[in-house]
Chain A
Amino acid sequence: MFTGYQHKKRVHERYKIIGFISSGTYGRVYKAEGKNGRVGEFAIKKFKPDKEGEVQYTGISQSGIREMALCTELSHPHVVHTVEIILEDKSIFIVFEYAEHDLLQIIHHHNSNQRGAIPARTVKSIMHQLLQGLVYLHKSWVLHRDLKPANIMVTSAGKVKIGDLGLARLFYKPLHSLFTGDKVVVTIWYRAPELLLGSRHYTPAIDLWSVGCIFAELLQLRPIFKGEELKADPKSKAVPFQRNQMQKIVEIMGMPIKDRWPLLTSMPEYGHLSSLAAGNPRMRAPQSLEHWYETCLRNNHWPKASSPDSPGPEGLSLLQQLLEYDPQKRITAEKALLHPYFSIHGKPLESCFEESKIKYPVRTVSQDNEIRSSSLPGTKRSGIDDHSMGRPVKRLKQDG
């Protein structure tokens, strides 16, 4: 198109790749150091613009475009900072600030070698920071849609930052129902009940359910609702009802009822719900969240009464409001920050590692510093990519 158009920025002139961190369908993430006067450590996410296996180049995927636009637009102390985006040759590089830890890694660390619970103050600080980031996203009309421990970064200074906006979307007056774009979002264990029941309208409440699941996991060091995912039929692309996941939720939370969730009966998959109970005694006598919480406190040797060294009764109250079935009743991020859990024993710690003697291991970086373009097999993200669904659409609705 242009005579002598030059890419203005080149990754290798600006960064030195130290090693490989992780991969997904989108591509790969590398750890890097600044070069030529640029100081500090960075995480560089490289995604291939084209789909693998496709002969012809089809442009940047819609989720790629969204992620790039949102990363440049957003800026908040509790959202991973985007340093720059470089488009070079046929690849896109998003350069992020580096975070030494993430919640998944922290949970793993406590899980191994009987290390025991994450200190109650650390959990509180993590939740407080996470919610601040989420308030910002929601105020900016952004739904994250994929909150899970692996996507919550923690810097070595104990600052919590929401990462991976790969599935995030603006929800202000979407041109099409958010449902039509990509049907499956959020890693199944963190998926809100209204999504499991086929809701077509995503609201910020889905992120708050995920936050509830993360809170529970920080307390118990295990996913609270660890269901098995049913894969979509590759031929029909129909989204199956995630029976097992719903079952895991009901086993603890009890069956949702119309009295508490008025729109329940109008959910597309509502019919499946009654069949869940049939022949399953655990469904009829659910454990209840209170019981789950009590067991959790006991196992962690946390005092039952309100105390700075226990999530206490306030923790349960917050958890109940986050894991509220009815998305309209579920607590918002803004209100959650005002919950007594965060104020009863003074302000939460600004750094989640403050007052903690635990040393967390640094991020594993493998010595694969060749920037490869293909992603590893079997590391697919849960979201169906827009392009794979929306083959040439002949005619879209014109509404204004």
Chain B
Amino acid sequence: MAASYWDSTQKKFWTFTKPQLQLVRQKLEESDRNIVSLYPLPDRRYLSIYFYHQLSKMARPLGIRQQALATAQVYVRRFYTRVEIRRTNPALLLATALYVACKMEECPQHIRMILGEARHCWADTSFTDVTIIGECEFTLISELDSQLIVHHPYRSLTELQNQFQLTQEENSLAWSIINDHYLTDLPLLHAPHVIAITAMFLAVVLKPTQGGMQGSAAGLTAAMQTLGNARNATGGAHIRVQKLVDWLAESQVDIEAVVECTQELISLYEVWESYSDKACKDQIAKFVKARGMDTRRE
């Protein structure tokens, strides 16, 4: 949005290579080794799914749209590269991230409405008054260095949709793949247009008739093969797919990045099958309770 993505704070400060991201997190865990070993947590993707469910639960009654939800998810992910999760009350952070995201995405919600939904959502006694969200807002914005403008792949998808004349079904599948990528580290690793291209590519290859992404491992394998063809610029696939593959091969788009995104999404859909809401909830509750963050503020 602001300027192009290339001059954005997202590109400059919030896009990492995989090893960089790993190092950042490792440092964070090392500085809090005690609580990290005391309170083991599920796979990050499970936590992300859990967070997403909680955010959606809050957002739905308020009619908050997807883009604000996506921005909130990005804030949470960025925040947890700066602050160890076990030092926080994730429920409070999620509510606050949603509150700030709504303002930033021009669909503001009154702080009391957010508080009400948060209280309802977690049955959490610590959500006593709006001041705690207000305080957390300061912390969140400080940790994010006030860099609140997020570039999403949705806009690139709209452009691609026109260029490739995607069908309604393909477009909505691509859209939901973009929604899913917020459950992974991809928003911290790749440019939004790379995500959009990946989503479009998967949508066209997988065809929406297969009824959603989850569990269609065969289709995904086929997608990978087609992408492999793009790398070697040899063909053989369906005409439409071929057109896309040719375009990919000729464009400046980093095919390796698209492959990496595809793999990341595939493994998300694989782990998703064994997701358990309860496991996440319980493990988070443990450190929140033990550290007294649900009743006491420090």
Residues of A within 8 A of B (CB): 1-5, 7-8, 49-50, 56-60, 62, 65-66, 68-75, 85, 87, 90, 136, 139-142, 169-170, 172-176, 181, 386-387, 390-393, 395-400
Contact of B66 among A2, A75, A396, A400 (CB under 8 A): A400
Of A69, A70, A75, A396, most buried by chain B (CB within 10 Å of CB) is: A69
Please tell me if B104 contacts chain A, counting CB pairs below 8 Å.
yes
Instruction: State A175–B101 Cα separation when bound (angstroms).
Output: 12
Per-residue contact bits, chain B 63-92, to A (CB 8 Å; 1 contact, 0 not): 111111000000000000001000111001
Contact of B146 among A3, A56, A72, A386 (CB under 8 A): A72
Contacts of B88 in A (CB 8 A): 1-2
| Chain A residue nearest to B147 in the complex (CB) | A72
Q: In the complex, are the beta carbons of B3 and A391 less than 8 A apart?
A: no
Instruction: State A58–B138 Cα separation when bound (angstroms).
Output: 12
Stretch at the interface among B124-132, B218-226, B251-259: B124-132
- Given A2-B88, A56-B129, A73-B147, also A390-B108 (CB < 8 A): yes
Q: In the complex, are the beta carbons of A1 and B145 less than 8 A apart?
A: no
Interface of A is mostly: loop
Contact of A398 among B1, B3, B65 (CB under 8 A): B65
- Given A1-B92, A176-B106, also A65-B67 (CB < 8 A): no
Contacts A/B (CB < 8 Å), 11 sampled: A1-B136, A2-B298, A56-B131, A65-B104, A65-B148, A68-B141, A69-B149, A72-B148, A141-B1, A169-B106, A170-B149
Please tell me if B57 contacts chain A, counting CB pairs below 8 Å.
no
- Given A65-B148, A71-B146, also A393-B110 (CB < 8 A): yes
Please tell me if B155 contacts chain A, counting CB pairs below 8 Å.
yes
Q: Which of B97-147 contact A (CB under 8 A)?
A: 99-100, 103-113, 129-139, 141-142, 145-147
- Given A1-B93, A175-B67, also A73-B131 (CB < 8 A): no
Residues of B within 8 A of A (CB): 1-3, 7-9, 62-68, 83, 87-89, 92-93, 99-100, 103-113, 129-139, 141-142, 145-149, 155, 291, 293, 297-298
Contact of B2 among A58, A141, A176 (CB under 8 A): A141
Q: In the complex, are the beta carbons of A58 and B108 less than 8 A apart?
A: no
3 tightest A-B contacts by CB? Answer: A69-B148, A392-B110, A73-B2
Contacts of B93 in A (CB 8 A): 1
Contacts of B112 in A (CB 8 A): 58, 392
Of A1, A139, A397, most buried by chain B (CB within 10 Å of CB) is: A1
Q: In the complex, are the beta carbons of A59 and B2 less than 8 A apart?
A: no
Output the least CB separation between A137 and chain B (Å). Answer: 10
Contacts of B83 in A (CB 8 A): 2
| Chain A residue nearest to B129 in the complex (CB) | A56
- Given A2-B88, A393-B109, also A58-B298 (CB < 8 A): no
Q: In the complex, are the beta carbons of B130 and A57 less than 8 A apart?
A: yes
Q: In the complex, are the beta carbons of A49 and B146 less than 8 A apart?
A: no
Instruction: State A199–B296 Cα separation when bound (angstroms).
Output: 50
Contact of A396 among B2, B3, B8, B64 (CB under 8 A): B64
Q: In the complex, are the beta carbons of B110 and A390 less than 8 A apart?
A: yes
- Given A62-B108, A69-B149, A72-B9, also A49-B134 (CB < 8 A): yes
- Given A70-B2, A174-B106, also A1-B130 (CB < 8 A): no
Instruction: State A310–B119 Cα separation when bound (angstroms).
Output: 67
Contacts of B68 in A (CB 8 A): 175
Of A3, A70, A90, most buried by chain B (CB within 10 Å of CB) is: A3
| Chain B residue nearest to A391 in the complex (CB) | B110
| Chain B residue nearest to A57 in the complex (CB) | B134
Q: In the complex, are the beta carbons of A87 and B142 less than 8 A apart?
A: yes
Of A5, A56, A140, A176, most buried by chain B (CB within 10 Å of CB) is: A5
Instruction: State A40–B110 Cα separation when bound (angstroms).
Output: 40
Of B87, B107, B297, most buried by chain A (CB within 10 Å of CB) is: B107
Instruction: State A177–B133 Cα separation when bound (angstroms).
Output: 28
Contact of B135 among A1, A141, A397 (CB under 8 A): A1
Q: In the complex, are the beta carbons of B134 and A392 less than 8 A apart?
A: no
Q: In the complex, are the beta carbons of A59 and B137 less than 8 A apart?
A: yes
- Given A2-B83, A60-B137, A392-B113, also A68-B2 (CB < 8 A): no
Contacts of A60 in B (CB 8 A): 103, 137, 141
- Given A1-B139, A65-B103, A73-B2, also A85-B146 (CB < 8 A): yes
Instruction: State A181–B108 Cα separation when bound (angstroms).
Output: 9
Instruction: State A172–B112 Cα separation when bound (angstroms).
Output: 29
Q: In the complex, are the beta carbons of A400 and B148 less than 8 A apart?
A: no
Instruction: State A248–B88 Cα separation when bound (angstroms).
Output: 58
Instruction: State A58–B135 Cα separation when bound (angstroms).
Output: 10
Contacts of B103 in A (CB 8 A): 60, 62, 65-66
